[in-house]
């Protein structure tokens, strides 16, 4: 569900970003996405993947998940360090693309493993725990 929300936000940002005229605006969009993704990654790492490290590691997905998160984080951090509008727009686009690829990987390869390894009751509890956790942006 969150992936769909993110992709909708990404679509809107991709339509908006080329028309932005200031570096500050692009950096603000990068901060917005980064904050949303931080909360999402925290949920993945602390709720789902921590419980299933052994399953994901056996399927060689755990390293990929962590590598993807690092790549995405790096892109959005570099947006904040960009010195030109064009550079920031390019890095923002790369961060969004990396996020989309990561979501596709999770949905295609990781989520089916989670569904097969966990009981339905456990999945519902994880979902409920996620809904109880505040978004990182709300804490800022």
Q: Find tokens 């931080």 and name the residue.
A: 38
Does pLDDT of 92 surpass 80? Answer: yes
Using alpha carbons only, how large is the chain's radius of gyration in Å? 16
Does pLDDT of 86 surpass 90? Answer: yes
Query: In which domain, by residue range, is 52 found?
Result: 2-139
Percentage helix, strand, coil for the chain under 3-state DSSP, each rounded to 5? 90, 0, 10
> What pLDDT, on a 0 to 100 scale, did the predictor assign at position 139?
39
C-alpha 101/C-alpha 97 separation (Å) is: 6
> What pLDDT, on a 0 to 100 scale, did the predictor assign at position 120?
73
How many C-alpha atoms does 82 have within 13 Å on its Cβ side? 25
> What pLDDT, on a 0 to 100 scale, did the predictor assign at position 114?
75
pLDDT top residue among 11 and 118: 11
Best-predicted range by mean pLDDT (31-45, 92-106, 122-136): 92-106
Q: How many domains does the chain have?
A: 1
Tell whether pTM > 0.85. no
Residue pair 117/12 in contact (Cβ under 8 Å)? The answer is: no
What is the full DSSP assignment across 38-99? HHHHHHIIIIIIGGGHHHHHHTT-HHHHHHHHHHHHHHHHHHHH--SHHHHHHHHHHHHHHH
> What pLDDT, on a 0 to 100 scale, did the predictor assign at position 15?
95
Q: How far is CA 4 from CA 26, 131, 139, 140, in A?
A: 22, 16, 23, 24
pLDDT top residue among 26 and 120: 26
């Amino acid at each position: 569900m969150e992936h769909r929300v993110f992709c909708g936000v990404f679509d809107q940002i991709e339509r908006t970003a080329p028309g932005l005229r200031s570096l500050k605006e692009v950096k603000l969009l990068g901060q917005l996405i980064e904050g949303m993704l931080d909360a999402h990654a925290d949920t993945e790492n602390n709720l789902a993947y921590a419980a299933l490290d052994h399953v994901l590691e056996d399927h060689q997905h755990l390293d990929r998940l962590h590598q993807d998160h690092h790549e995405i984080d790096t892109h959005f951090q570099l947006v904040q360090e960009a010195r030109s509008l064009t550079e920031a727009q390019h890095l923002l686009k790369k961060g969004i693309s990396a996020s989309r690829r990561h979501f596709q990987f999770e949905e295609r390869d990781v989520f089916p493993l989670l569904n097969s390894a966990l009981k339905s009751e456990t999945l519902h509890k994880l979902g409920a725990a996620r809904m109880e956790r505040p978004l990182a942006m709300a804490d800022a």
